[in-house]
Structure 1
Amino acid sequence: MSDNKLSGRRILVVEDEMLVSMLVTDLLEDFGCTVVGPVARLPAALEAAAGDGFDAALLDVNLAGVRVFPVADVLAERGIPFVFVSGYGELDSDGQHEGRPVVQKPFSPDALEVALANCFPD
């Protein structure tokens, strides 16, 4: 993808696996984004989601055995776009977040870039 929709965007990263968060950080920076976080646990993620300073978020569905859906609820209520990242296939969010973008682990850089760029319509 080369239209540079992501250049200058601030992306909150909620990811509990250190190596994955490092990879995501590198990719986002390659896309021209500024990374906010990463945040690895639900309480800190809820606090970050309620704050300012980011344009969209990447949410790992499972944070150390705890589902990230309360963070998604806060973001949805605030009208902030987000993309789920999951290694589990189905979200299992009681349908509340059905239709939200999901990037499956392991993901390609292109899949991540397209999913995030789609958060910012023209």
Structure 2
Amino acid sequence: MPLTNRRILIVEDEYMLAQDLQLELEDAGAIVIGPEASVRSALSHIRQEERIDAVILDVNLGGQFAFPVADLLHARQIPFIFASGYEDDVVKSRYPGVVNCAKPFVSRQLLLSLENVLH
């Protein structure tokens, strides 16, 4: 399985959605780190974590855009996908190569997108 033993950070402020994502990822064999629910906590976690293979990143965290998190991930060459209720153009204009899985998303679609950024 492509996600087996991959360390995936979830950055999502909706508790139930973060828990559902965690269960889906663990069922796919991933090691889930986080979840983090704010820009500040996500930035801190990313700076402290020794290894992150990929990140699922919500665009809006408690009313704050998560672009500082995306910028840090990009700078550290950590692959990520957005999981967002925002239109694609909000994300595509700033991060043209990053996949945006629109909420509500299909879990299989999100897992496939994650597998793709890991290859």
Query: Is this a same-fold pair by TM over 0.5?
Result: yes
* Equivalent residues of 1:10, 1:34 under 8 A apart: yes
TM-score of the pair, normalised by structure 1: 0.90
Q: Report the equivalent of 1:87.
A: 85
Q: Please state whether the residue corresponding to 1:45 is helix, strand or coil.
A: helix
* Equivalent residues of 2:53, 2:118 under 8 A apart: no
Residues 1:94 and 1:25: Cα distance change in structure 2 (over 3 Å): closer
Q: Which runs of 5+ in 1 are unaligned?
A: none
* Equivalent residues of 2:88, 2:100 under 8 A apart: no
1:71 aligns with 2:69: yes
Q: Deviations over 1:71-115 (max 9, x none)?
A: 000010011100000012235258331220111111112101111
Distance in 2 (alpha carbons) for counterparts of 1:116 and 1:93? 17
1:26 aligns with 2:16: no
1:8-47 to structure 2, matched below 5 A, reads 8-47=5-44
* Equivalent residues of 2:13, 2:62 under 8 A apart: yes
TM-score of the pair, normalised by structure 2: 0.92
RMSD: 1.4
* Equivalent residues of 2:83, 2:101 under 8 A apart: yes
Q: Report the equivalent of 2:52.
A: 54
Q: Which runs of 5+ in 2 are unaligned?
A: none
Q: Which moved more, 1:96-105 or 1:28-37?
A: 96-105
Number of residues paired by the alignment? 118
